[in-house]
Amino acid sequence: LLSQFDPDNTGYISTEKFRSLLQRHGSELDPHKLEVLLALADSNSEGRICYQDFVNLMSNKRSNSFRQAILQGNRRLCSKALLEETGLSLSQRLIRHVAYETLPREIDRKWYYDSYTCCPPPWFIITITIVAFFLYNGVVLDRFVLQVSHPLYLKNALLYHPQLRAQAWRYLTYIFMHAGIEHLGLNVVLQLLVGVPLEMVHGAARISFVYVAGVVAGSLAVSVADMRAPVVGSSGGVYALVSAHLANIVMVSTRVPQQLIYFLFFVPVSFEFGRAVWLRFHPSAYPPCPHPSFMAHLGGVMVGITLGVIILRNYEQRLQDQTLWWIFLSIYVIFVLFAIFWNIFAYSLLDLKLPPPP
């Protein structure tokens, strides 16, 4: 095929040969993939198309140069939007709904709609929600949630406590504990409403990375900025997903109704964060140990609007080829290293009086 359409071995195919190839084999392609190929042909003003971009498309891969060409050709698309298509089954309408709630560009929505196979399912978010929250709290502790006034609240091996910061697993396992039923309920709702559609689109690897990075950044932010406080709850990971998704949608989307919907989404998020701030400065049930810190929320937000935005914006592209990805990843690694050294040396150097271990 390469020798037939690129006899001079230049790495490019002329748009005339490209269109003849589409006319010959277009009926074998998904209609939306054919539309993407036509957009690629229309977007090129030099009369040629990169052969590797064509191969990437046919093998369900998209390079950065291909994405840029599609974004230019996107203005020339004349077919109806995916939202206007009729005669879809219930599962197809669900996939279309996920595409419109998650992806801001029409060309990405159609690409996802054609390529999604529900294999694998969004197992990470569902597992971390059911197993981590309900199984542990319900079976091991014989209750679904511990209020901050409960005698066992501090006496467990999961929450992060400044006196026990040498136990490294606590920087992750604190997400399995919550400060009350309202804390658990809102985190579960946000995690499922946002996390499941994101994982359906971007896959478990990317979403789990954003989630875990937010969790780690949350506990490390507490250890640096609120050194005397414990921390519980999955807000670091949840806020990383929510902030990444909202920032990605707001920065790219031009649909005012959609932006208003996501603006209203800030209401429960703001309520949960305001409650966390109030609880932190409310008199503790176990002085001198204060109530849980709210800094984990802010750590998750910072991960979301840096690493998270890059991951979600570059749908189906190699992150290794993205400059901003490496910049923000380097910033995150530097912060983690700084926080580790802070935890090792700063507490003793500052001679900080910490609450006694539980």
Active-site residue set: 235, 297
Task: Report the amino acid identity of residue 277.
Answer: V
* CA gap 326, 244 in Å, rounded: 17
| CA-wise closest residue to 82 among 70, 93, 71 | 93
Cα torsion 251, 312, 234, 158: sign: negative
Sole residue written with tokens 């109030």? 278
- Distance of alpha carbon 329 from alpha carbon 190, whole angstroms: 25
13 pairs with which residues across the strands?
49
Query: How far from the centroid of its chain's Cα atoms is residue 1's Cα?
Result: 39
Q: What are the backbone angles phi and psi of residue 193, rounded to the nearest 5°?
A: -65, -35
DSSP string for residues in 121-132? -SHHHHHHHIII
Helix (H) or strand (E) holding 281: helix 266-281
* Dist CA 112 CA 197 (whole Å): 12
